[in-house]
Each structure stands twice: as structure tokens, then as C-alpha cells.
Structure 1
């Protein structure tokens, strides 16, 4: 109740009990204070002060807050501003140490002339008071912009850090979570994000598309992923993205009894497991193009629905076994490649019921059918890449049937189109029509014949000399600013003349040495030639 009562209601309660509190005995006053604190949520000392203030002013009226007498006036503020500028604008804690050195120097040069009392106040001022006095000065110095702390910095500080070496072979259920942006070459506007969740123990990977980077959508995606993982989630490890470190995601995870941790800022290796899947799974499936819109998100959902089964049940991956350093060399050893499904079956902490359910699901899957569905959805996404939402109505529907005939048809194409190019349409570069350059008219066009005549008479003529002659003809059109365009024209004309000279020159006779009839050149060593002689 104390958190829901409004300020107006608190004032009404206070004015009601003030008169009774003043006329009550000591024991009765204690009971009134207890009831007032329970109703308003105030601290006991604050309630006592409020009752006394209300009794002095009168019930139903509010006393203006008392103003302390200022100890540091305009003179001290002006002195601190000068000292702050003389210190090269350092912080208050550093300026406090520099004041005994800077103050005599400024007095010596006539910048400060302080009385004895003001000088003692400047020398005794604290670092916190310096910062308070210089708040508006610093804002004005920075151009009116005030630096503010990150909105979610408090929540981020509450979440403990977990590095790569802190996992220590966890049980299945602890996941690393990250986002992959599908913004193409620009992050402007709204585009689809992929939420990637990787189980640290088994490598089980779940990917879900998000329309935007929003905390509520992250919560829905994690809740959806909980139903996709074969086991219960036990913990989530985020990076420092504000889409995770906010007042929506972190409290929800704690309500779900999930252990929440985060990586260090700018330390990608702290989330090595999910960073590996971002490239090996998400980028391999989606490429680096831009995707946006609800319909595209639905197609991505179908792609991830097929890919999760193909990746987790049929695609083996490496997992680090040990890593040691020998001098400057880091030696890594890996386990044999295995699928997340195989790691789950071999893990002792996975229950027999979960293993049985995974085996039954594995027997019902066909990797060729799954790959056919993946390629079909990639073809549709390949038509949507880099297209804005709402402008893809003429696109063909994705191939979604899973009948044995379609799987057999797809299987017959495997291995026969290896040299045809990239099989994943999301990785193909879109062919754009070549735009023919249109030559814009130049003010030199009417004078090209005259310039060619000048060059024929004086081949060594420079661009400055040509500009000078043109300015004599049309002074309002030509001047020193036209030097660069005349220089380009001069270079093109001389190249054209050189090509004409080379094309018109007669070809020489035999140039390969076969027509030479003179004596053989002395190519043998001198000793051999002397012996032959």
C-alpha cells in the first residue's frame, strides 16, 4: 500500500493526524507514527519532521523548503572557472590537487585577486563542490550538450560477468545468446535480426527471427526457444547489447529462474560458442544481405524450422577439448566432430526420456528432404534480399512440399550443378542493370577544332597557355578555374594524336633475327674460342 499511495493522499493523511499528534501523549504519538509510516511508506524520522512542519505551517498548507546560505558565491565560482581553464579542464578530483600550485600563478599574473577569506575557501573547497560549481560551465564549454550515463548501465552492472574459461563443462540448459543483424551494408532504418541461442554443453542451436531489436520481442523469442530445446533452460549468457541489458529481459529471465550472466565489453571470445554459430549457421544460411518486413520474417521462420533439424541432427561440428600455450604458440586440441544430437545422447545429465524422444525424432527425419526445404526457402529469400517491405508481391511462393517425389527430384540434382555457381540464393549477388554514362556537354566543345589547330602548330602548348587564349576570345566564360578541364581535354587530344601516329607508322621488316646474315655473335667463353682457334 505504501508504494501505491499518491502524494496528494499522503498530504491529506498528514493534515488529518497532525492535530491529534500534537495533543497526544508520548505513547500515543508512537502509535500515530507507526500508523503513518505504515500508510505512507515514509521513514520514521521523515514522518516526525513532516508532522512538525505541518504543525508549524498549519494543516492543509505546505511550507516552502528551507534554503541553506550559500558558502561559495560568484567570486569563488569565477575563481574556480579560471583555475579549471588553467588546468586544461581536468576533473574536480585532479583540480583539487592542482589548486595550491595554480592559484599563486594566477595571482602573480593578475588573473585572480582574492581576499583572505575567499582564498581560504578556494584552498579548502572539496572536489565534489568543484564539480557542482562547474556544472553549467562545463555544459556551456561542450556546446550545450550534457554527457549522460548509459540508460541501462545500472542494470548492466547488476549482471555478473562470465568469461569463456568460466563455463567448466556445464550441464545442458546453459545457453549463450546473441543477435545477428540483417541490415546489409547499412544499419539505417528497421531490419530483421536473428536471435541465436547455443547450448554450451551440446552445441544445440536455435535461431529465431525478430522484426526489430526490442526487449519484449527478445522475451517472446526466448520463451519460444524454451519449447524448442529438448531440455529446460537453466541459464542465459548475453552480451552488453541494450536489447538484452534492459528492464524487460533481465527481470523476466530472473522470474523464470534463469541464471543471467553477460560477457565483457568488446571481448568476443567470451561468447565463442554462439559467435561460431553466427557464422557457421546464420550467415551461411542467410548471407549478408538486407532483409525486412513481416513476410520475409515468416519465410526466415520456415528456413530456421528446417535448418534447426538439419544442423542439430545431421551436421557434425568441432568442440574444443583443451588449449595450452607454449611460448608464443597456442596449441588447441578438439574432440572428434559430432552432432549436437550425438553429444546429447552421450551426456550423462540428459534424462533417458529426453534421449528416447530424440531417438524417435531422429528416425523420422530425412536430411535430403530438410535440405530441399532449406534450398527452397533460400530461393525465395534470394528474391527478397535488399528489397523493401511491401514491394515483393510478385515473388514466387517457396517450395514447401515434402513429398517423396520432390525429395527424389531434388536428390537427383545433387552433385550435378557443382560448377553452376553458388547453390544458396541468399549468397548470390544480384545483377543490376549497367547504367551507361551520359557525357554532359562542355563549354569547350565549340573550341575543340581551334585547340586542335593550335596544337598542330605548337605541340608543346600547355593548358595554361590554351586557357589564356580562350580567355582572350571569351573572357566571361574562361579563366583560371577552367584550367583542370582544359588539362583533361589536352591529355585526351594528345593521346588521340599518339594513337594515330602509331597506327599510321609502317611496320618494319623481319624483327625476330631470322634475316640476319652476319657472323655469329661471340657467345662462347673466350677460353673455348681460343682452343678452337
Structure 2
């Protein structure tokens, strides 16, 4: 099979000697055969002409890229695949930002050891230096052969990727504590509904999720969610249909501001897809409560993986491009727990507890737990 470079070498002499119309015909033929743009085809034809005059052989041109040494060692590539699978198969952009935390956890719990399977301090340095694009390139084959069901990459991941922060500036304090609330109703055979509630902090991306049994009142669900958050909740953004007099009274007693999504300027609707793949085996009341217990174990494992290991980035402004188009600017990606610790809102005891939990968490075990629970609920 003739390669694109070989075709360019074939056409190079005739292209150089042709008229303007003839050159256009050759460009048409070459772009149709190779898929190149006309500019790239023109560049390759001129390059081949120079190489022919310089006496450079075609083999040297074709094999140059294949013979180029890879920047990262085979040991680093194998370790990269382990880190990727252990952290829940994130894209290169977020794996690059969370690489140090993932490596620390894997080393701390013995999944990566010095001298085992080629892992060493030099391999760690390679992994910390690798770029997002290189990560995706090296993992291309692993992703192609991986058939993992990734519908639950992370609870709340879809929400915190699309928070309408630019439309909530007037509501936000520049610190954690304001939460966006999503409710998902799951029908049961008894005619009652289970409700899954997700709290997502708008400033730092902290996520907490819980599924509640049928018959639980909205105000009780909100109260339990607020108590489970490891820092002070100052406000919540609720769907329009949720607030009632009991919730309003509860919020006033607890000094929590309440706003509704309908109070914001119009924009794209918040996604409900975070739980679209969940199939609770709901039948008898006992089966319902057992399924809810397993679902809450799943949410807890996913939230720990997101909050302690998966970075988020926040929009900080706009910048004009040379063409005059405005582009969003973001800050450096950081994990929600690191943003929380840096905010200064925690007391020393809360800081100590979060740091101790961060040290205890094993990202590989979390991911294995997530996979095991998914297999029972999907």
C-alpha cells in the first residue's frame, strides 16, 4: 500500500515542472488520495522536491518518525495505565492535574512500589512531567480495548462541569458553602418514590449524594444532606418545585439562604444525566431498602473519589483571541479538598480530620468498590 509520503514523492518532480493549472490538478489528486489539506499537500510536495535534490532517500523520510525514540519509558507507560484504571479512567486533562495525588495514594497503600514491575523514582518523575495530550495518546490502545461501563464516572460530575457560576455571581460569597441541589425521582412498584439528592458546592465542586427511602419529607432530606457536609452550608439553590413553608422555616432557623433556579437568568438547563444508568432492584420493601443501602455505599465511594482525587477548574474571566473571539479563562485545576483546605473556613479540628481521611483513602480500593457495587445495581 502506497503511503501519503510516497505519493508526495511520486508527484514532486512533475509538480515542480508544471504550470499553475497543472499544479492545481496535482494538488486535487493528492488531497483526494491522502485526505490532506491543500496547504499541507503543497508543503509536502515542495519538501519532497528539496529532498530529491539533496539526495535524501525515501526510506529515510518514511522511517524517520518510526525511529524517533519515545520520550517516556515503557515502565512509565505501564504505570500510567495502572494509574488511569485505578483512578476511574479519567481523561488526560484531569489525570494530569490529579497525577500527584493518585501516585501518593497508590504508593502509600502498596500498589506502586520501588523496584516492583519496573516502578522507581525516575518513573514517578516521568509521570509527573507527562502532558494531558501525551496521556491520551499513550492510552489510546488501552481505551480502545477497554469496555468498562463508564456511565457512573462520578456522581455529580456532570453537574459540577456545567455549574452556571457566571449567572450566580450576585448570590455567591467567595468561599465554599453555597450548594446546587439536584433531585432525581425513582419510581417503585409500591407506587411511592425514592429520591436521590445531590449537593454540589458551586465554588469548590465538593459533591455529596444520598438516596432516600419512599416517604421521606423534602425538609428532612435537606437537613440530613446539610449535616453530612463537613463544612458550613450557607445557601442552597433548589429546583422551583421544591421550596415550601417547612423548608423556608427550616432555612431561617439554620441561617441558610434559599434560591430557586427560576430566579436566575435563562440559560441551559442543569443536567439530570448523572444517574440515568442506575437501575435499583426495587420490589418488596426489604429489597427496596437493601438497594437504597447499596446505592448510598456507591455514592459515598464515588464522592470520595471525586472530592479527594479528581480536580476541578473554575472560570475566572474572559480573554480575547487574536481573531477577536472571547474565550473562557480558568484557574489551575485542583481537587475540591485542596480548595476547601486553602479557603481557610475550617477550624483546626476539621482540617486535621480531612487530612487524616485523605491519608487513609486508597484510590485503587475505592475504584474496585465502585465497580463491585455497580455490578449489583446496574
Give the TM-score taking structure 2 as reference length.
Answer: 0.48
Larger Rg: 1
After TM superposition, the score normalised by the length of structure 1 is 0.35
